[in-house]
A and B are shown apart, each in its own frame.
Chain A
Amino acid sequence: MKYIEEFQDPALARRLLDDIHATVTRPWALMEVCGGQTHSIIRHGIDQLLPEQVELIHGPGCPVCVTPLEVIDKALEIASRPDVVFCSFGDMLRVPGTGRDLFQVRSEGGDVRVVYSPLDALRIAQENPGRQVVFFGIGFETTAPPNAMTVHQAKKLGIRNFSLLVSHVRVPPAIEAIMRSPSCRVQGFLAAGHVCSVMGVGEYPELAARHRVPIVVTGFEPLDILEGVRRAVRQLERGEHTVDNAYARAVRPEGNPAALAMLEDVFEVTDRAWRGIGVIPDSGWRLSARYRDFDAEHRFSVSGINTQEPAECRSGEVLQGLLKPHQCEAFGTLCTPRSPLGATMVSSEGACAAYYLYRRLELKTVPAAATTPPQEASTVV
């Protein structure tokens, strides 16, 4: 496997950069949708090397960042129960709910386990028939199919002590919502390659046509991102707005039929709240009626948890691309990965964390005014 080395080749990167520099004649604002792309852009210093006229706006595509506080609080409540084994991907453990995170629940005696696949959680359920095993099913179209398959398997095998706490979200409605926002500055999109490897590109032509924006399906290594930028800039300079697949080694136009069939079987589209943004219509999935028995929210009666988020951080504007992380007064002072005000500073894919980790050397932030500690507000009905 030579992918990493080959797709970070400095000489090829220089050629792509030269082409972008030669192509661009005026300012353009592109949004990379996926947090993995944001991380790669900042880690490799790609934004430092692009022409000044090309601005990269960081989108809302970090699955950790957009999981609502209310859902985290539900996870904390379920994970605290003595009869529960709560399984999650690793980077959700550090995301703060109201006053706690899953690491803290574990330190208080909760059985919280990091797994690397939802099928591991299903195996734990099989091995522990006397306990309830819950998997924290969050993320975009990339993580939804394996989670769907796990629920499908649980039903097929009759494993009754497994359930899913679902907070899945979909990219195209988020792009739609961003384009409809009156303050939107985005002129072109780098679509998330891994999402498209599952979903294909069928949802994008209508978006591109309606909003007159080029949408370029883009990968995650430096050369992938530069190629995505190059193609998007080329379209903008020509006045075009089509869907272009710059990640053909992973993305087929029709996507992954088996994964799509699994999604169709297990989930149904629903409105979904995005942390820091609010409710976006049709932007998420929930378990369909056939699988409702496996919904942890119903099984553990936590659907009554309603959390009010105190006005502390501006990550909503960051997730919308309206604000660069370092333009927030709290960046690097009140808000750091050690003491995050919001999820965009917690997850390594969050734009704020990426800027803090990799870029704070050259960023000058406005000294933050002292603020009073926020009131914690959480009600469990």
Chain B
Amino acid sequence: MSDAGTTLDITGWTCPAPLRDRPRVVMGHGGGGALSAELVQHLFAPAFGGEVLAGLGDSAAVTLGGVRLAFSTDTYVVRPLFFPGGGIGDLAVNGTVNDLAMSGARAAYLSCGFILEEGVEMSVVARVAETMGAAARAAGVEIATGDTKVVESGHGDGVYVNTAGIGIIPDGVDLRPQRVVPGDVVIVSGEIGLHGVAIMSVREGLEFGVDVESDCAALGGLVQSMLAVTPDLHVLRDPTRGGLAASLNEIAAASGTGVVLDERAVPVPEAVANACAILGLDPMYVANEGKLVAFVPREHADAVLDAMRAHPLGRGAAVIGEAVEDHPGMVVARTALGGTRVVDLPLGEQLPRIC
């Protein structure tokens, strides 16, 4: 059957042509990585026009009647609807509250748009609504307006929720990646990867036993305690889809500075590390829902870190790196062994590896 003496002719070994453009939407366009960014920058932004949108932040800073407002919207399509540590209702409130908080604003009012699937049990809708109410009360925000639509059975995952929110940005607060300068200290508010691993642990077909709950939480109070130390924080991000890596890459690209991380300093809980090792994922790319990453002027870093650690949602805060002049727009990690590696923007969805 085979010729044991065969030698390989390696001339002309080739590979196929790439997929450069996609004629249809793929899941990666919603993954918070490079594909998502391209969709917004090359399709939505040119179509909409407008100066405010060009900022491309998680929330927009607008001035109305002399008042600076943060304005943000987000849509929640999580499956399953309820997971260890929370559910779609908590996410829908806290996610938008956090997007506003990253502008320094305390969320004041939210809108809520439901897309319900025909046939979903009313008790499920009630549970989502109750958790939204409880989360809103805990965050000190009011759900002031809303809308409901129903789609035919098979055209939705039971419940989709959109929330939009507004809040006032305090005077003297200007949180933008463009303010980052070399020397800024990078601080993360606690352990990363909890939300993504909690969701994966109960996802159909992947159920695995892990002692991890989502970190879903409203960060407005933590941000206020940081701003009380100094209003001169440079930028804040909540590293949701795409994880810490996506947030740091966005900041590096928008600020034109490089970022150097000490990989050992990034707080990764053991359960998250183990789950990621099994699935072939990198915790740096796994979603969080109750964490923030801050770029803080070096002279304020210690005081801000102390203030964070004094807050229940910042107890695990840690300095993980700094902004640098080298390799502008790029994030580099010093590995535990002493090597270095680039921490890239994720392309689309993280895909579990074959082996």
Given contacts A63-B354, A282-B2, contact A310 B17 (CB under 8 A): yes
Size of interface on A: residues with Cβ below 8 Å to B: 96
Given contacts A5-B270, A337-B347, contact A36 B355 (CB under 8 A): yes
Are the CB atoms of B353 and A91 closer together than 8 Å? yes
Residue A228 interfacial (CB < 8 Å)? no
A338 contacts which of B273, B347, B353 (Cβ < 8 Å)?
B347
Nearest-Cβ distance from residue B355 to partner chain A, whole angstroms: 4
Residue B39 interfacial (CB < 8 Å)? no
Fill in one digit per residue for B1-24: 1 if any A CB lies within 8 Å of its CB, else 0.
Answer: 111101111101111111110111
Fill in one digit per residue for B320-355: 1 if any A CB lies within 8 Å of its CB, else 0.
Answer: 000000010010100111111110100110011111
Residue B206 interfacial (CB < 8 Å)? yes
Using Cβ atoms and an 8 Å threshold, which residues of chain B touch A310?
Answer: 14, 16-17
Fill in one digit per residue for A14-40: 1 if any B CB lies within 8 Å of its CB, else 0.
Answer: 000000000000000000000010000
A96 contacts which of B6, B18, B354 (Cβ < 8 Å)?
B18
Provide the bound-state CA to CA distance between A324 and B65, in Å. Answer: 60
Given contacts A99-B17, A316-B14, A358-B342, contact A180 B6 (CB under 8 A): yes
Are the CB atoms of A103 and B27 closer together than 8 Å? yes
Provide the bound-state CA to CA distance between A99 and B2, in Å. Answer: 33
Fill in one digit per residue for A277-300: 1 if any B CB lies within 8 Å of its CB, else 0.
Answer: 110111000000000000000000
Residue A92 interfacial (CB < 8 Å)? yes
Residue B310 interfacial (CB < 8 Å)? no
Given contacts A180-B6, A222-B337, contact A317 B22 (CB under 8 A): no
Provide the bound-state CA to CA distance between A376 and B18, in Å. Answer: 10
Are the CB atoms of A108 and B24 closer together than 8 Å? yes
Within 8 A of A (CB), among B301-333: 327, 330, 332
Residue B26 interfacial (CB < 8 Å)? yes
A342 contacts which of B15, B332, B344, B351 (Cβ < 8 Å)?
B15
Residue A305 interfacial (CB < 8 Å)? no
Using Cβ atoms and an 8 Å threshold, which residues of chain A touch B12?
Answer: 311
Nearest-Cβ distance from residue B25 to partner chain A, whole angstroms: 6
Are the CB atoms of A45 and B341 closer together than 8 Å? yes
Nearest-Cβ distance from residue B33 to partner chain A, whole angstroms: 10
Size of interface on B: residues with Cβ below 8 Å to A: 53
Of all chain A residues, the one with the shortest Cβ separation from B26 is A103
Are the CB atoms of A139 and B337 closer together than 8 Å? no
Are the CB atoms of B354 and A91 closer together than 8 Å? yes
Provide the bound-state CA to CA distance between A161 and B24, in Å. Answer: 30
Count contacts between A and B, CB distance < 8 Å: 208
Given contacts A49-B337, A280-B8, A337-B347, contact A348 B353 (CB under 8 A): yes
Residue B133 interfacial (CB < 8 Å)? no
Residue B172 interfacial (CB < 8 Å)? no
Using Cβ atoms and an 8 Å threshold, which residues of chain A touch B344?
Answer: 356-358
Using Cβ atoms and an 8 Å threshold, which residues of chain A touch B337?
Answer: 8, 10, 13, 44-46, 49, 222
The segment out of A78-86, A113-121, A241-249, A253-261 that lies at the interface is: A113-121
Within 8 A of A (CB), among B111-152: none
B17 contacts which of A104, A117, A337, A374 (Cβ < 8 Å)?
A374
Residue B274 interfacial (CB < 8 Å)? yes
Nearest-Cβ distance from residue B349 to partner chain A, whole angstroms: 8
Residue A140 interfacial (CB < 8 Å)? yes
Which of B's residues lie within 8 Å of A, judged by CB?
A: 1-4, 6-10, 12-20, 22-28, 34, 205-206, 264, 270, 273-274, 277, 280, 327, 330, 332, 335-342, 344, 347-348, 351-355
Show 27 residue pairs from A and B whose CB-CB distance is below 8 angstroms, ordered by the A residue. A4-B270, A5-B273, A8-B336, A36-B353, A44-B336, A91-B354, A98-B16, A98-B17, A103-B26, A104-B24, A107-B22, A115-B205, A270-B1, A271-B1, A276-B15, A278-B9, A282-B1, A309-B14, A315-B15, A316-B14, A337-B347, A340-B18, A357-B341, A360-B342, A361-B332, A362-B340, A376-B17
Contacts A4-B277, A106-B26, A342-B15 known; list 20 others, CB within 8 Å. A4-B273, A44-B339, A45-B335, A91-B354, A104-B23, A107-B22, A107-B25, A114-B352, A140-B355, A180-B6, A181-B7, A270-B1, A276-B15, A310-B17, A311-B14, A315-B13, A315-B15, A341-B15, A343-B15, A349-B353
